[in-house]
Structure 1
Amino acid sequence: MPSTIVMTGAGRGIGRVAAERILRESADIHLLVVARGSSGARLATELGTGGHTVSYVTADLCSLQSVRSAADEIRERLENDQLPPLRGFVGNAGIQYTNALTESPEGFESTFAVNVLANHLFIRRLEAHFIHPARIVITVSDTHFGDFRHNLGMVPGPAWNTPDTLARPAAFPDPHTTTAGRTAYSTSKLAAIHLVHEYARRLPTGIDVIAYNPGFVPGTDLARNADPVSRFAMRRILPALTLTPFATSRTAAGGHLADLVVGTTTAPTGSYVDRAHVARSSAESYDPRRERELWDAAERLTAAHTA
């Protein structure tokens, strides 16, 4: 039966690979991409080449008002039968800044706004429109482990604090530094895993939610806000690591994501999938008290856009 999958972060990197593979291998999928500015129309046209069914909505994921508008447009299309039933959401978009001071339009720290609150608002606005079975996949990162094995010494481990503190600029020491920006990133990915656990408890049976870790994938645009040397290394030097077990190529990571989205990779709700296999996330990521606290904060921080 035809169905819709909504996807953020489909324009480049592993998301682009995943989107192309989903469409290539699932002829009955209508892929709705969420993209910024004028890029949505171009992306839908490119992905729709060959007869694939692709549409788009425009959103700036840093702005909760923009996310709310996009989610409501999707809801309206579903209710008016302009889209086939909703069966999936892929929160693949992510951002990393060179500081922990960048502020969203609503005053949130932008890493937290994009990597945590935007996904939460999309899920909550679309929740009632999923048909069963449905699958939600949130792209996370093994930087949340905080050790050399998982981050190769490039990204500091997470530094947890109260959600209200993490959601605001200057949550970390020396907030103007790249170290603080990268700490904000790893902490936001830990927060995303916490919320996946809480979603699994709260979402209705038949809506599965999974955290996906692609591993270290050099050659993507995640470091687009970094200094010139770091950008050069990510794009030109570090891709050589994909020939070793320490990194994953964009093709492999995107393929793994697509397989998880369409259900080729089996994974129970609430699980953490490391590349192609269900695995354990960090010991720190399993904390029901912290997860409930984060859920409550996410509900409160997005409340103005859910009424």
Structure 2
Amino acid sequence: MKHTIVMTGASRGIGRVAAGHLLRRSADLHFLVVARGSSGGRLAAELAAELAAELTTDGGHAVSHVSADLGSLDSVRSAATEIRDRLDRGDLPPLRGFVGNAGIQYTNALTEGPEGFESTFTVNVLANHLFVRLLQDRFAAPARIVITVSDTHFGDFRHNLGMVPGPSWKSPDVLARPGAFARPDTAVAGRTAYSTSKLAAIHLVHEYARRLPAGIDTVAYNPGFVPGTGLARHAGPVSRFAMRRILPMMTLTPFATSRDAAGRSLADVVLGTTVAPTGSYVDRDRVARSSEESYDPLREGELWEAAERFTAA
């Protein structure tokens, strides 16, 4: 049956790999990419051309795009509304999936979006929440929401090799604003904002599992440490060079995941090839437990309430 999957963060890194797998492996898929400006149109054209070159017959696939700046809640709201309208008009087949794969890490904790929220928290947490809530009543069960998270939320050497500080949880009203962490103008604060935002994303996945209607499953996907994905594109030249040229060699060890392997695993989670009950945390290719800190119903409920306030029209 024809169906639609919506994805952010499909233009580079593991998202780009996952997009190809989804299109090749899911018959009758309409793949809708959400990307900034004209990049979505270019990506949609590239994916469609690649698929046409690989397939000798038309399997019913289609690729389209919606423009959105994930750092702006107004832009996200407009994109989600456009998707809703296209579904209601019948321009898109039934919605069966949303993949919140886009993520960002800044070199400080002071970057502010147009609504006054700190940009790491906006992109990694609030943008996904707004998409989920505005599309919630348009999903056709069985449907699956997948949010890409990070094992940096554990905050220990085993999971981040000392490269990213662990999360530092505070009230959501503090976390959502610039300057939430010590020395907010430093890269350490920016990385702390990143790990904390990924912990928040896992909290919300647990809350979605409680609140969303039956038939809409929500899963947190951790790709592990994947060098060369563009996540550090706002870092300084030395860090960018290391991520592009040196750290990729770590994929030959158990400490890192290649982009191809991570993208394939993400597609497996989206398609249900990796069996994962709603509320699960998938570590690369298997269901596992996230950090002990990530299981906190009181904190999760508080975050839900705050995210609802922050994203209200």
| TM superposition score category, shorter chain reference | over 0.9
Aligned to 1:45: 45
Cα distance, 1:220 vs structure 2: 1.0
CA–CA separation in structure 2 for the residues paired with 1:286 and 1:25: 34
The C-alpha deviation readout for 1:160-217, integer Å capped at 9, x for no partner, is 0000000000000000000000000000000000000000000000000000000000
Matched, 1:115 2:115: no
Structure-to-structure mapping, 1:217-236, within 5 angstroms = 217-236=226-245
CA distance in 2 between counterparts of 1:294 and 1:250 reads 31
> What number of residue pairs does the alignment pair up?
304
Give me the CA root mean square deviation: 0.5
CA distance in 1, matches of 2:38, 2:279: 35
Counterpart-to-counterpart distance in 2, 1:243 and 1:218: 11
**Counterpart-to-counterpart distance in 1, 2:234 and 2:289:** 30
Q: Which residue number corresponds to residue 185 of structure 1?
A: 194
Deviations along 1:203-250, one digit per CA (max 9) or x if unpaired, are 000000000000000011000000100000000000011001000000
Within 2, Cα distance between the matches of 1:165 and 1:121? 19
The residue number in structure 2 matching 1:160 is 169
Listed one character per residue, the Cα deviations across residues 46-71 of structure 1 (whole Å, up to 9, x for unaligned) are 01123441000000000000000000
Please name the residue that 1:213 is paired with: 222
> What aligned pairs does 1:228-307 form with structure 2 within 5 A after superposition?
228-304=237-313
Q: Are 1:137 and 2:146 counterparts?
A: yes
TM-superposed CA distance for 1:265, in Å, is: 0.7
Structure 1 residue 80, shift from structure 2 partner:
0.2
Shift of 1:28: 1.2
Aligned to 1:11: 11
The answer as to 2:97 corresponding to 1:88 is yes
Residue of structure 2 aligned with 1:71, choices 75, 80, 105: 80
Q: Which structure 2 segments of 5+ residues have no match? A: 53-60
Q: For 1:222 and 1:125, locate their aligned partners in 2 and report how far apart those are by CA, in whole Å.
A: 27
Instruction: Tell me whether 1:175 sits opposite 2:193 in the alignment.
Output: no
Cα distance in 1 between the residues matched to 2:250 and 2:38: 34
Cα distance in 2 for residues equivalent to 1:299 and 1:250 = 34
Find runs of 4+ consecutive structure 1 residues off by over 2 angstroms: none
Alpha-carbon separation, structure 1, partners of 2:289 and 2:153: 12
Measured in 2, the distance between the counterparts of 1:280 and 1:264 equals 19
Question: What secondary structure does 1:247 align onto?
Answer: coil
CA distance in 2, matches of 1:84, 1:207: 17
Question: Which of the residues 140, 144, 158 maps onto 1:149?
Answer: 158
* SS of residue in 1 equivalent to 2:219: strand
- Cα distance in 1 for partners of 2:29, 2:74 equals 28
- Residue by residue over 1:54-109, the C-alpha shift from the partner in whole angstroms, topping out at 9 and shown as x without a partner, is 00000000000000000000000000000000000000000000000000000000
What SS does structure 2 have at the residue aligned with 1:210?
A: strand
CA–CA distance in structure 1, aligned partners of residues 229 and 15 of structure 2: 10
Q: TM-score, normalised by structure 2?
A: 0.97
Q: CA deviation at 1:27?
A: 2.0
Q: CA separation in 2, counterparts of 1:132 and 1:27?
A: 17
Counterparts of 2:214 and 2:11 in 1: how far apart (Å)?
31
